[in-house]
Structure 1
């Protein structure tokens, strides 16, 4: 819209009082300015895929965290996102009995939990899909071997991943190659998966350090452990969910989608 032309039109001689005309002109200019800001903001959020949300709608999630930890606020943001996608989420503390998973469609273990307090966790055996981004539990959950720093670990500052399996549904449509999942350096967990894993992304420049990987039900995990249901590992840190880029968000949603979907021949 030509603002000057519009204002001249509004201020043109008429039977409307001059004070009213000036007020109308001010409102018009403010409306135009606000409209420009609104349009810019509307382009920022990632557009939700209706078909993707249909996969998660009415699914029940047991979300394991530390209810009294300061970083629980970040878990609340993850929960709000899952609920926006139609999921029913039940938050429980890390000491919740494994029986809490009965009847759930997905178990999520946040990195806010204390891995030290959950060593040998029986959630390893639940016949329910499980997703976690607590890299210090990868060994207890049989995602990887036992040696921290060799079989699993965490990078304090990184914001790129290397997508090595773009055709997989777990990649969420993110193209192959080096992609930034955070706008700036943040925590990133990694692991060296067992023989039955599907690897989706690795640390850029570290092909043996997987940051997104999964096991189909029945696949061999580490220690010859057989996956009781689908298992997914992600790279997030305690407070990095809110900083995910569009690519990072797409991978997160794809991981949730795949975890709660019926097996159709693997993650590949």
Structure 2
């Protein structure tokens, strides 16, 4: 517990010190979906602090809330603290851009096929990414090749997206396992589902945000910016 608390404190220091150096966005309203009554809530609070520092207006909503909550927001973020069984694909049809890092709902959200371990999954220990689409805004200026996402090995989600996806990063040596990917509005997702708005999958797990390297933070910021439509 002390170790996690120290990591959270250090992350807050890094984020706070970066505010003065970060050009504020024009803003945007983000609906942040999480399990409000959950032990890892402090990590979601840390993510919110980062988003606040970038000029976004963030509102928390519980996983049990109706998808109609998304109306009036510029973007929906889905944390991995949601229960995949209860949450499933309830936000699949919203006409608002969605970014998520709950690995087990990729199929329900039409990001991938249905078979866990084949179409989507998670590795327990990894901290490298293989960047494959450097020109895309989702890459956030990170060059092609190996990138260090975590300070040490941590869980990392992956998926095999549909043909309409822009794949940004994969597991090193495993090009069929995408860890950052996105769909443009109108792109064909899995199940021949047409994306109602932009959709992005990011590789985080419940407690791994504080362990992102500066490169990892750069990629996270770029993913949010692209999803909400700022580039």
Q: TM-score, normalised by structure 1?
A: 0.78
Aligned to 2:66: 97
- Does residue 170 of structure 2 align to residue 202 of structure 1? yes
Equivalent in the alignment of 2:196: 228
Partner Cα distance (2:102, 2:18) in 1: 25
Q: Contact 2:131 / 2:145 at 8 angstroms: preserved in 1? A: yes
Q: CA deviation at 1:58?
A: 2.8
Where in structure 1 are there 5+ consecutive unaligned residues?
1-40, 264-268
Which residue pairs with 2:118 in the alignment?
150
Q: Deviations over 1:126-173 (max 9, x none)?
A: 000000011101000000000000000011110000000111110011
Aligned equivalent of 2:160: 192
Q: Which residue of 1 aligns with 2:5?
A: none
Question: Aligned partners of 2:18, 2:113: CA distance in 1, in Å?
Answer: 36
Distance 1:207 1:46, change over 3 A: farther
Which ranges of structure 2 fall in alignment gaps of 5 or more residues?
Answer: 1-12
1:105–1:234 CA distance, 2 compared to 1 (3 A): same
Asked if 2 retains the 8 angstrom alpha-carbon contact of 1:46 and 1:246, the reply is: no
Q: Give the superposed CA RMSD.
A: 1.7
Rg larger for = 1
* Structure 2 partner of 1:68: 37
Q: How does the TM-score come out when normalised to structure 2?
A: 0.90
**How many residues of Structure 1 are paired with residues of Structure 2 in the alignment?**
217
3-state DSSP class of the match of 1:116? helix
Matched with 2:7 is none
Q: Which residue of 2 aligns with 1:116?
A: 85
Q: C-alpha separation between the residues in 1 aligned to 2:90 and 2:176?
A: 28
- Contact 2:163/2:189 (<8 A) preserved: yes
> Partner of 1:30 in structure 2?
none
